[in-house]
Amino acid sequence: MAAEKSTLRVFLNGIVEENPILVLMIGLCPTLAVSSNANDALGMGAAASFVLVASNLLVSLLRKHTPASIRIPIFIVIIAGFVTLIDLLMHAYQPGLYKNLGVFVPLIVVNCIILGRAEAFAYTNGLLRSAADGLGMGLGFTLVIVILGAFREILGNGTLTLFNTELFNLGAGFTPALVFIMPPGGFLAIGFLMALKQKFWKKS
């Protein structure tokens, strides 16, 4: 079934049809925890996407040499290696972001999306297709988390920041609903996002 899809379809699959957060309901912890502003959400999405593409590539490259019985520990070591890499890089070049994301940077290693794609896709598919799948899933994850982050930041703080620059500020006339940047707002925002999805998104 998967072999018949074109590479483009594989790429789009992660963004729409099998969006990891909205459809598969995985990777919830970082989604809620770092989406209190759009900037952190984008950083988290980028870091997770990088690990996803890199681990998909390596798993796909090594798939003929990976014995089936010990594949899961091997996947975990590959993923943990890339997570350590991004952890050190972010600590060195984006210290502010690193501080905001906190424990959720090393926790990318237990993000079910990444292990799930290694097991379900990269282990049985070629290099190019695995990279496309990783990129699609990563973008699907990033898209949802940034939308959530932007929504919460605008309502809860009256601002929108991306790439460390403030895009706009609603100013003093706007009274922000603080609850949206606090933990209850995270649950509330994703609850409404999912309700919207159930309302307007027909299941195929």
Interface ranges with another protein (CB under 8 A): 25-26, 28-29, 32-33, 73, 76-77, 80-81, 83-84, 87-88, 102-103, 106-107, 109-112, 115, 179, 182-188, 190-192, 194-196, 198-199
For the four alpha carbons of 101, 82, 112 and 77, in that order, the dihedral sign comes to: negative
Q: How far is the CB of 7 from another protein (least distance, A)?
A: 29
Distance CA 183, CA 100 (A): 15
Q: How far is the CB of 28 from another protein (least distance, A)?
A: 4
Distance CA 82, CA 180 (A): 32
Distance CA 110, CA 76 (A): 9
Q: How far is the CB of 26 from another protein (least distance, A)?
A: 7
**Which of 110/127 has CB closer to another protein?**
110
Q: How far is the CB of 187 from another protein (least distance, A)?
A: 4
- DSSP assignment, residue 166? E
Contacts of 68 (CB under 8 A, 6+ apart): none
